[in-house]
Amino acid sequence: MKQAARKQQIDLGGKRIAVICARFYPELADMLLQGARAALRECNLPADDVSVFDVPGCFELPLAAARVISSTRFDAVVALGAVIRGQTPHFDYVAAECARGLMQVQLETGCPIGFGVLTTDTYAQAEERADPQRGNKGYAAAMAAASLLQIPA
Protein backbone atom coordinates (compact mmCIF):
# COMPACT_ATOMS: atom_id res chain seq x y z
CA MET A 1 0.00 0.00 0.00
CA LYS A 2 1.32 3.42 -0.95
CA GLN A 3 1.76 5.67 2.06
CA ALA A 4 1.02 9.37 1.72
CA ALA A 5 3.80 11.74 2.68
CA ARG A 6 3.03 13.97 5.63
CA LYS A 7 2.53 17.61 4.62
CA GLN A 8 5.06 19.96 6.15
CA GLN A 9 4.93 23.71 6.46
CA ILE A 10 8.34 24.88 5.30
CA ASP A 11 9.30 28.49 4.71
CA LEU A 12 12.28 28.89 2.40
CA GLY A 13 12.13 32.69 2.37
CA GLY A 14 15.67 34.05 2.05
CA LYS A 15 17.06 30.81 0.59
CA ARG A 16 18.33 30.17 -2.93
CA ILE A 17 17.82 26.83 -4.68
CA ALA A 18 19.51 25.46 -7.79
CA VAL A 19 17.53 22.98 -9.87
CA ILE A 20 19.65 20.93 -12.27
CA CYS A 21 17.74 19.16 -15.06
CA ALA A 22 19.12 16.32 -17.15
CA ARG A 23 17.50 16.95 -20.54
CA PHE A 24 18.03 13.53 -22.21
CA TYR A 25 14.26 12.97 -21.99
CA PRO A 26 13.01 16.57 -22.37
CA GLU A 27 9.31 15.87 -21.78
CA LEU A 28 10.08 14.05 -18.52
CA ALA A 29 12.50 16.79 -17.46
CA ASP A 30 9.82 19.41 -18.04
CA MET A 31 7.29 17.51 -15.91
CA LEU A 32 9.81 16.96 -13.11
CA LEU A 33 10.76 20.64 -13.20
CA GLN A 34 7.10 21.61 -13.03
CA GLY A 35 6.73 19.51 -9.88
CA ALA A 36 9.88 20.95 -8.29
CA ARG A 37 8.73 24.51 -8.98
CA ALA A 38 5.33 23.75 -7.43
CA ALA A 39 6.95 22.41 -4.26
CA LEU A 40 9.26 25.40 -3.93
CA ARG A 41 6.32 27.79 -4.39
CA GLU A 42 4.52 25.96 -1.57
CA CYS A 43 7.58 26.65 0.57
CA ASN A 44 7.23 30.41 -0.08
CA LEU A 45 10.31 30.56 -2.28
CA PRO A 46 10.04 33.36 -4.87
CA ALA A 47 10.69 32.27 -8.46
CA ASP A 48 13.63 34.70 -8.58
CA ASP A 49 15.38 32.61 -5.91
CA VAL A 50 15.26 29.46 -8.06
CA SER A 51 17.93 29.01 -10.74
CA VAL A 52 17.58 26.23 -13.31
CA PHE A 53 20.60 24.68 -15.01
CA ASP A 54 20.37 22.12 -17.81
CA VAL A 55 22.79 19.26 -18.45
CA PRO A 56 22.69 16.68 -21.26
CA GLY A 57 22.01 13.62 -19.10
CA CYS A 58 22.02 12.16 -15.61
CA PHE A 59 25.69 11.20 -15.71
CA GLU A 60 26.50 14.93 -15.70
CA LEU A 61 24.36 15.75 -12.65
CA PRO A 62 27.02 15.13 -9.94
CA LEU A 63 29.62 17.42 -11.50
CA ALA A 64 27.01 20.10 -12.19
CA ALA A 65 25.86 19.88 -8.56
CA ALA A 66 29.44 20.19 -7.31
CA ARG A 67 30.05 23.25 -9.48
CA VAL A 68 26.81 24.93 -8.45
CA ILE A 69 27.50 24.28 -4.78
CA SER A 70 31.09 25.54 -5.03
CA SER A 71 29.73 28.89 -6.25
CA THR A 72 28.32 29.36 -2.69
CA ARG A 73 25.27 31.09 -4.21
CA PHE A 74 22.84 28.30 -3.32
CA ASP A 75 21.53 26.75 -0.12
CA ALA A 76 20.36 23.49 -1.72
CA VAL A 77 20.20 21.65 -5.04
CA VAL A 78 17.43 19.63 -6.66
CA ALA A 79 18.71 17.11 -9.24
CA LEU A 80 16.17 15.96 -11.84
CA GLY A 81 16.27 13.49 -14.69
CA ALA A 82 15.47 10.00 -15.88
CA VAL A 83 17.46 6.87 -16.66
CA ILE A 84 15.41 4.23 -18.48
CA ARG A 85 16.61 0.66 -18.85
CA GLY A 86 17.52 -0.44 -22.35
CA GLN A 87 19.07 -3.62 -23.72
CA THR A 88 22.63 -2.95 -22.56
CA PRO A 89 24.30 -2.41 -19.15
CA HIS A 90 24.43 1.36 -19.82
CA PHE A 91 21.43 1.88 -17.50
CA ASP A 92 23.24 0.23 -14.58
CA TYR A 93 26.34 2.39 -14.93
CA VAL A 94 24.55 5.70 -15.40
CA ALA A 95 21.95 5.14 -12.66
CA ALA A 96 24.48 3.91 -10.10
CA GLU A 97 27.12 6.56 -10.77
CA CYS A 98 24.57 9.36 -10.82
CA ALA A 99 23.19 8.33 -7.43
CA ARG A 100 26.62 7.64 -5.97
CA GLY A 101 28.04 10.89 -7.30
CA LEU A 102 25.20 13.02 -5.96
CA MET A 103 25.45 11.37 -2.54
CA GLN A 104 29.21 11.94 -2.51
CA VAL A 105 28.80 15.63 -3.37
CA GLN A 106 26.12 16.01 -0.72
CA LEU A 107 28.20 14.37 2.01
CA GLU A 108 31.42 16.19 1.07
CA THR A 109 29.82 19.64 0.93
CA GLY A 110 27.03 19.38 3.50
CA CYS A 111 24.71 20.97 0.95
CA PRO A 112 21.32 19.22 0.64
CA ILE A 113 20.59 17.63 -2.73
CA GLY A 114 17.06 16.46 -3.49
CA PHE A 115 17.27 13.31 -5.62
CA GLY A 116 14.67 13.50 -8.37
CA VAL A 117 16.24 11.05 -10.80
CA LEU A 118 13.83 8.43 -12.09
CA THR A 119 15.30 4.97 -12.66
CA THR A 120 12.71 2.88 -14.46
CA ASP A 121 12.40 -0.09 -16.76
CA THR A 122 10.12 1.66 -19.26
CA TYR A 123 9.28 5.13 -20.50
CA ALA A 124 5.67 4.61 -19.35
CA GLN A 125 6.87 4.00 -15.78
CA ALA A 126 8.91 7.21 -15.94
CA GLU A 127 5.92 9.17 -17.26
CA GLU A 128 3.81 7.91 -14.37
CA ARG A 129 6.41 9.02 -11.81
CA ALA A 130 6.79 12.44 -13.46
CA ASP A 131 3.06 13.07 -13.86
CA PRO A 132 2.00 16.06 -11.74
CA GLN A 133 -1.37 14.37 -11.11
CA ARG A 134 0.10 11.07 -9.88
CA GLY A 135 2.93 11.79 -7.47
CA ASN A 136 5.55 13.84 -9.31
CA LYS A 137 9.06 12.90 -8.13
CA GLY A 138 10.36 16.39 -8.94
CA TYR A 139 7.96 17.70 -6.31
CA ALA A 140 9.16 15.08 -3.82
CA ALA A 141 12.83 15.86 -4.50
CA ALA A 142 12.33 19.59 -3.95
CA MET A 143 10.45 18.90 -0.72
CA ALA A 144 13.26 16.61 0.44
CA ALA A 145 15.84 19.35 -0.14
CA ALA A 146 13.60 21.88 1.63
CA SER A 147 13.19 19.51 4.58
CA LEU A 148 16.94 19.04 4.90
CA LEU A 149 17.38 22.81 5.05
CA GLN A 150 15.31 22.77 8.25
CA ILE A 151 17.97 20.70 10.05
CA PRO A 152 20.61 22.90 11.71
CA ALA A 153 24.11 22.56 10.26
Question: pLDDT tens digits, residue range 79-92?
Answer: 999 999 999 999 99
Q: Comparing C-alpha atoms, which of 60, 48, 20, 54 is closest to residue 142?
A: 20
Q: How confident is the model at residue 134 (pLDDT cuts 50, 70, 90)?
A: confident
Active site amino acids: 90
CA distance 15 to 76: 8
CA distance 6 to 16: 24
Q: What domains does the chain contain, in order, with CATH numbers?
A: 21-149 (3.40.50.960)
The pTM assigned to this predicted structure is 0.93
Which stretches within 84-122 are classed as H helix? 90-109
For residue 57, count other CB atoms closer than 10 A to its CB.
15
Q: How confident is the model at residue 1 (pLDDT cuts 50, 70, 90)?
A: very low
CA distance 110 to 121: 32
